[in-house]
Every structure is written in structure tokens, then in C-alpha cells.
Amino acid sequence: MSLVTAAAAVAGAGKPFTIEQITLNGPADHEVVVRMVAAGMCHTDLTVQAGFIPFPLPGVLGHEGAGVVEAVGAAVASVAPGDRVLLSFTSCGTCDACRDGRPALCETWLPRNLLAGARPDGTAPLTDADGGEMHGSFFGQSSFARHALVDERSVVKVGPDTPLEVLAPLGCGVVTGFGTIVNVLKPGPGQSIAILGAGSVGLSAVMAAALSPADRIIAVDRVSQRLELARELGATDTIDTTGTDLAAALTELTGGRGVDRVLDATGVPALISAGIAGLAAGGIFAFVGAPPFGTTVPVDVNAMLPGRSLVGVTIGDAQTQSLIPAMVRLHAQGRLPVEKLITSYAFDQIQQAADDIHAGRVIKPVLHF
């Protein structure tokens, strides 16, 4: 089976998104064809577009898809045509981490989601209008297309009333921030947490922290409107990094003790270093923001000895089949107001959405098909 559809392709590093005709070569046994209703745009899409992550191009990106199942492969049992689904990352399902319920630590996570541009068996999921290879399988979905060929392990079934145009970002940006709080940092009663970066990941972390027992939630950014939104979503304090010594400000806000938990959603080395320096004894720092490959920061080993720890986190260490439906329920209860992050665009406005992210005009673009 093959299906011709329209997709937003990137021809090469630094090239714009352009709407082109492509063919889906499937579904294979464990794949699903999804008619896209909406897709969030994430900084990772733009990092690949810029050439900072070595995903092979030309290709189709997009990894926060939401839509309706149209066809399934012969071995697919989890969804059926007509089901509404949110799309997230994929994993092998057989390695130790996957069997332990931690698919974000899958031994083959990088090639399956970010680097290969093909199925695990090396076959091409997509072809262009001339029959040439078009790289896909980005996060197992490549959802910047009117129809997406999706790995079954990227698919999360949701209820028939789920507002897909609002909840598409749950697949990456929102689950990353939310999951890092609830799965990794787990702030306890009376503890403090600083969230560096008030974009979609950081603000999702603020929302999660507001549901936790933490009593001081510090949002850090340099854009005043984003800090105002952070307060609306549950931050108790904000720090504008413009002309501010961040480590000193964190220490001052916590009475000289330092912050119990720090989540970095920026990937900016100077902010990471300041966040580590502002960490309390026994505190935990989570690396979440993804800078260009090879980025490093210095660490004072002696400063780490009083129980401070650093941990890297991928996609909030989420078991998406359980966490994403829970987040859908929280949204339905009014406790996870994702819509406050979103600006909507028509699919053919995709490059405008990318430009608006770069200019800092929007937090989370969502494309409507």
C-alpha cells in the first residue's frame, strides 16, 4: 500500500520548510497511517532544520502530532481505524530499559528518533514526487504532513472527545517539562525548584510543579511576558536574567541555602553553570534543554560532594502510554491549561511559525491541517 500526501519538507541544512508531494511507503506490519489534525512545532525541529542535529536531509520533521488513524499494519493491535491518537517518541520495546517501563532510555533511542531518517531495518518510509528517497521516521512519526506513517510505539490512543488541536504538544514539549518534574525531580513538601527557560518545556514544568508539594517555584527567563505567564501558571517567583547574576539571585531567594531542584530547559551553558552554582546541598539539577552536539560545561567536583547531583533527562523519562492519558485528564479537569501556551497556524504557514519561534513571538506554534 502507498499513499500520496502533502508534507512540509526541508531540503537541507538552513533551508526553509516547503510544501511538497510525498508518498508514504506503507504501513509496514507495525506502522499506522494517521490523518493529521494538528502538529506542534518544537525547537528540536528547528535545530534539525538549522543543521545542528545530524538527521539526514531532505526529510520531513514534526514530532508532536495528533490525528485520526486511517489504516494499520498487519501486526498492529493497539489502535484501529477511526481512533483518535496523540503521537510521541518511539522505542524498541525489547531492551532492558523498555522492558522496565522506561522507553525514553531505550538503547536505540537516538537512531530510532533523531539520527537515522529511516525505519530500523533501513528501508525508506517516504519518497518524493520524483520517486527519490525522502527521509522520515522522525521520532517515529514525521508529522509535518497531512498523513503520517507512524511507528506503533509512537501512538497513544485517546478518547473521542480529546481536543487534538490543543493537546498535540503533549507528545514532546509538554510531556518533557511535566514528566521531568513528576518522574525525575519529584520536589517534596517545602522544597524549592527553579525552572530555567519559560518556553513550552519550562512552562509545562511550572504547571507540573504547581501540582506538586513544592512551596517555591522560581521561573527564570529574560522575556517579561513569559515570566508573567509563568506566574499565572503557578510560579511563586520570577527572575529576569537580563543583567542579573542568576546564581546569586537563586541563593538570595532561598535565604542563602540554594535551590533544592533545578530544571534547565535552555541548553545555554552560562545558565546551566549558574543553575548548578545555585543548587542546595543534596539538590538535583536536571539537564533537559538540548544544545548543539558537543556542548560542555565545567563542573566543580568539590562543590558536588555535599550530595549535589546532575542528571540528564530525555522526554521527561516518560512512559507515554500512561503519562499522556493522565495529562489529557488533567487538562479536562482544568488543571493543565496547555492552551495558554499555544498560537495556531494553518499548515501552509509552517515557515512563518518557525520564524516566529526564532523571533520569540510565540511559545508553542500548533499547525492545523
Q: How far apart are CA 193 and CA 215, in angstroms?
A: 9
Q: Give start-end residues of each CATH 3.90.180.10 domain in the chain.
A: 2-171+337-368
DSSP 8-state code for residue 357: H
Mean pLDDT value across residues 21-35? 96
Inform me whether the pLDDT recorded for 352 exceeds 80.
Answer: yes
Q: How far apart are CA 79 and CA 94, in angstroms?
A: 20
Pairing state of beta strands 133-134 and 126-128? antiparallel
pLDDT of residue 127: 96
Q: How far apart are CA 359 and CA 230, in angstroms?
A: 19
Find all residues with CB under 8 Å of 163, minimum gap 6, and list them. Answer: 331
What pLDDT, in 10s, does the model give residues 266-294?
999 999 999 999 999 999 999 999 887 88
Listing DSSP states for 167-191 in one string gives HGGGGTHHHHHHHIIIIII---TT-
Return the percentage of the chain with pLDDT > 90, whole number: 96
Q: How far apart are CA 140 and CA 31, in angstroms?
A: 9
What pLDDT, in 10s, does the model give residues 42-87?
999 999 999 988 899 999 999 999 999 999 999 999 999 999 999 9
Residue 319, Cβ density class (10 Å: 0-12 exposed, 13-18 middle, ≥19 buried):
middle
Mean pLDDT value across residues 203-217? 97
pLDDT of residue 292: 79
Question: Which one, of 193, 201, 148, lies nearest residue 318 by Cα?
Answer: 201
pLDDT of residue 268: 95
Instruction: Name the architecture of domain 2-171+337-368.
Output: Alpha-Beta Complex (3.90)
Q: Which residue has the cell 508532536?
A: 64
Tell me the CATH number of domain 174-316, given options 3.40.50.720, 3.40.630.10, 3.50.30.40, 3.30.70.1090.
Answer: 3.40.50.720
What pLDDT, in 10s, does the model give residues 316-334?
999 999 999 999 999 999 9
Q: What's the predicted TM-score (pTM) here?
A: 0.95
pLDDT of residue 300: 95
Return the percentage of the chain with pLDDT > 70, whole number: 100
pLDDT of residue 175: 98
Q: How far apart are CA 288 and CA 205, in angstroms?
A: 11
pLDDT of residue 348: 97
Mean pLDDT value across residues 135-154? 98
pLDDT of residue 182: 98
Cα–Cα distances (Å) from 156 to 250, 260, 326, in that order, read: 38, 33, 11
Q: How far apart are CA 314 and CA 116, in angstroms?
A: 18
**b/e per residue 15-25 (b: at least 16 CB within 10 A):** eebeebebbbb
What pLDDT, in 10s, does the model give residues 229-275?
999 999 999 999 999 999 999 999 999 999 999 999 999 999 999 99
Q: How far apart are CA 232 and CA 273, in angstroms?
A: 28
pLDDT of residue 290: 84
Pairing state of beta strands 216-221 and 133-134? unpaired
> Cα–Cα–Cα angle for 115, 63, 59, nearest 5°?
50
Q: How far apart are CA 13 and CA 135, in angstroms?
A: 13
Mean pLDDT value across residues 14-40? 97
Q: 336: number of CA atoms within 13 Å, CB side?
A: 25
Lateral strand order in the sheet of 309-312: 237-240, 216-221, 192-196, 259-264, 279-287, 309-312
